[in-house]
Chain A
């Protein structure tokens, strides 16, 4: 469930080229697309806050809180926080650094008869489990329900019908965006949610006899991208729900004289398809700035504004 990057690019070009207004290069599109996607993504959280204060209609598809949650759910992640030197200080769920994008070949490289398992090269098991993985069969992006990845082994749920097709595995790092809930699990004891406190509260809580943190009611501070948990006897079993940033869209191409869209090396917009219109309008708005056409800016801006009014009224 994503917005096809080629569809967006072609639509933007179509509107821009109407009456020979101008052209947007793939590089410009990728940068503006990233910016526009992030802008829309940012509005989710403010809109959710706004809608939570408004009574909602408990009817299918009409509850705006549910609709917004559906948009945000695409970016919801859950991972384990790792203790630093067995202390009560934890790092956030691991995100691999270095190359922002890994194109990992497989062995066998192509779909092979009577073979459902393919070993992924280049990317590590850690990167695969902590990254966003996209698998292409030739030019087609496969649904995540078509395969499973365990360690560095890609297993197709059914034998690929078409044989000899190139398999491409793309791994993108998950970038931490917002911290959600922090949970503590120890053995067979019930899972406990940790309460976030700031340093001012912390000292009062630690010295309070009624509300001092316990393994039943633990607390944490969040500083320097690290979680410090109290009571300090907690040194493992911490997991974190968080929101990651959307992957930057990439419209990549093959050829030199003529740009031909290349799906395996491109990356779609990740935001909800519901926002496709707004996304195109926002890109057009920035495109108007790029090609210095006030008319485009004006039309796109008024359209975006109208859409926002409809969504929030």
Chain B
């Protein structure tokens, strides 16, 4: 079973759990060997030199090993990609071609290697041809004069490259050695649990295969139409059907505002986290205050004034300032402010009357604090009791922000097919209305099923909730 055998799983256990794919190099040492990645996740390549900024774009690393036990990362200075030597007590002048006389024979110097100072990293030139017998005279294109008796390093600037999931090693790989593609940790996180999703690309391809063609209800359709309806479906599902998996841990700054996430569509919940790590829901201050969209500066007649570009002058909001300065305890009526930890042993004698006041407005009688959405600035504002508190923001996106988002839980895959087929049939001319209605009902039913499935209602959980009400249920 661990080996992919034609099922939906295409990665080996090692690829999935360890994020590693291992190869054996050619039986003869050679340059330019290629290795094809079979990870389900595409490789992302920026640069193979850790000293460059592009290296940070890589979502994987490349390692070599002689015994598949001790691994060394392949980079410009690793032993496989570089070699060292010292020129004789002769200055090597600028020129092309120029021979570098070495003190010790070296057969590992290869064409296209860069000649650098081993200690300072100064680049002197490029090797024009592989070193050859007697291995002490290296033909190079020298762009910077080499001082006498300089310790040199011959290295590949880019010992390997990657394009379209094929890794090409420019350095000379020893015969029958081992090479490993190792995914980075955050890439591995994305890979884990990926099986519960179907990629949108696959949904589109499957749809075109199964629902479109001669003799079917949709004889032909433009692929762009399917892509549009699939992406729109994913957006709609993201709003009310799919699980909200997006969340951010933030701390409320002195300004009492945090910026909305880049892929934010709507919030599902904001909470502050107490010292025990337990979250307490923060409520919207809809009825209490607002962040005005515009604060025009008015003249004495109350008419907004304009600047030299004929646009209204905007001032600072007094409402926001007053809200930020207030003491929320005066709104909630809480007279103690220290017990906002979910520790049941925290309570003291004076807390006994908590929750026993009459005539409270339940909407404002909470001690967790408030937040407000500032659409003008794209911010969340918080009440002053949350200053410097740790908060979590759970929100929904639309599933189209990043390539990785373009996937749908398998539990809702069928609902997406129904959504696409209904969307296409309902916009096609000449499709009978009863057919459209049939698929409308089918879409509705499958979407309902998807919602039930994704709501993750488990019998054990229900039982536990019912026990909380001191009621027994047989199961």
| Nearest B-chain residue to A49, judged by Cβ | B214
Question: A186 in the interface, Cβ–Cβ < 8 Å?
Answer: yes
**Contact of A188 with B37 in the complex, beta carbons under 8 Å:** yes
Question: B153 in the interface, Cβ–Cβ < 8 Å?
Answer: no
Pick the contact of A188 from B165, B214, B232 — CB < 8 Å?
A: B165
**Contact of B163 with A219 in the complex, beta carbons under 8 Å:** no
Contacts of B228 in A (CB 8 A): 208, 210-211
Of A189, A211, A219, the most chain B CB neighbours within 10 A belong to A211
Q: Mark A219-248, 1 if CB is under 8 A from B, else 0.
A: 100000000000000000000000000000
Question: A53 in the interface, Cβ–Cβ < 8 Å?
Answer: yes
**Contact of A187 with B166 in the complex, beta carbons under 8 Å:** yes
**Complex Cα spacing A65 to B213, Å:** 13
**Contact of B224 with A211 in the complex, beta carbons under 8 Å:** yes
Q: Mark B394-434, 1 if CB is under 8 A from A, else 0.
A: 00000010000000000000000000000000000000000
Residues facing B in A253-290 (CB within 8 A) are none
Residues facing B in A102-148 (CB within 8 A) are none
**Contact of A217 with B227 in the complex, beta carbons under 8 Å:** yes
Contacts of A211 in B (CB 8 A): 224, 227-228, 231
Residues facing A in B33-55 (CB within 8 A) are 36-38, 42
**Contact of A187 with B163 in the complex, beta carbons under 8 Å:** yes
Least CB distance from B402 to A in Å reads 13
**Contact of B231 with A210 in the complex, beta carbons under 8 Å:** yes
Contacts of A53 in B (CB 8 A): 214
**Given A189-B42, A210-B400: A195 and B163 within 8 A (CB)?**
no
Question: A301 in the interface, Cβ–Cβ < 8 Å?
Answer: no
**Complex Cα spacing A15 to B214, Å:** 42
Contacts of B376 in A (CB 8 A): none
Range class of the B interface residue count: 20 to 34
**Contact of B224 with A187 in the complex, beta carbons under 8 Å:** no
**Complex Cα spacing A189 to B37, Å:** 10
Question: A205 in the interface, Cβ–Cβ < 8 Å?
Answer: yes
Contacts of B163 in A (CB 8 A): 186-187
**Contact of B224 with A189 in the complex, beta carbons under 8 Å:** no
Least CB distance from B165 to A in Å reads 4
Pick the contact of B223 from A65, A186, A195, A210 — CB < 8 Å?
A: A195
**Contact of B164 with A186 in the complex, beta carbons under 8 Å:** yes
**Complex Cα spacing A195 to B222, Å:** 8
Pick the contact of B201 from A186, A195, A216, A219 — CB < 8 Å?
A: A216
Contacts of A208 in B (CB 8 A): 228
Question: A55 in the interface, Cβ–Cβ < 8 Å?
Answer: yes
Residues facing A in B347-376 (CB within 8 A) are none
Interface of A is mostly: loop
Least CB distance from A17 to B in Å reads 46
Question: B215 in the interface, Cβ–Cβ < 8 Å?
Answer: yes
**Complex Cα spacing A193 to B205, Å:** 10
**Contact of A188 with B223 in the complex, beta carbons under 8 Å:** no
Q: Mark A189-207, 1 if CB is under 8 A from B, else 0.
A: 1000101010001000100
Least CB distance from A188 to B in Å reads 4
**Contact of B36 with A205 in the complex, beta carbons under 8 Å:** no
**Complex Cα spacing A65 to B222, Å:** 23
Contacts of B42 in A (CB 8 A): 189
**Contact of A189 with B164 in the complex, beta carbons under 8 Å:** yes
Question: A291 in the interface, Cβ–Cβ < 8 Å?
Answer: no
**Contact of A219 with B36 in the complex, beta carbons under 8 Å:** no
**Contact of B164 with A187 in the complex, beta carbons under 8 Å:** yes
Contacts of B223 in A (CB 8 A): 193, 195, 217
Least CB distance from A244 to B in Å reads 24
Contacts of A205 in B (CB 8 A): 224
**Contact of B227 with A187 in the complex, beta carbons under 8 Å:** no
Question: A27 in the interface, Cβ–Cβ < 8 Å?
Answer: no
**Complex Cα spacing A208 to B37, Å:** 32
Least CB distance from B278 to A in Å reads 40
| Nearest A-chain residue to B165, judged by Cβ | A188
Q: Mark B214-237, 1 if CB is under 8 A from A, else 0.
A: 110000001110011001100000
Listed by A's residue number, 14 A-B pairs whose Cβ atoms lie within 8 Å are A65-B214, A186-B163, A187-B164, A187-B165, A187-B166, A188-B164, A188-B165, A189-B165, A195-B222, A205-B224, A210-B400, A211-B224, A216-B201, A217-B204
- Which 9 A-B pairs have CB atoms at the shortest separation, nearest pair first? A187-B164, A188-B165, A52-B214, A186-B164, A187-B166, A211-B224, A188-B36, A210-B231, A195-B223
**Apart from the given pairs A189-B165, A210-B232, 13 other A-B contacts in the complex at a CB distance below 8 Å:** A65-B214, A187-B36, A187-B163, A187-B165, A188-B36, A188-B38, A188-B166, A189-B164, A193-B223, A201-B224, A205-B224, A210-B228, A210-B400
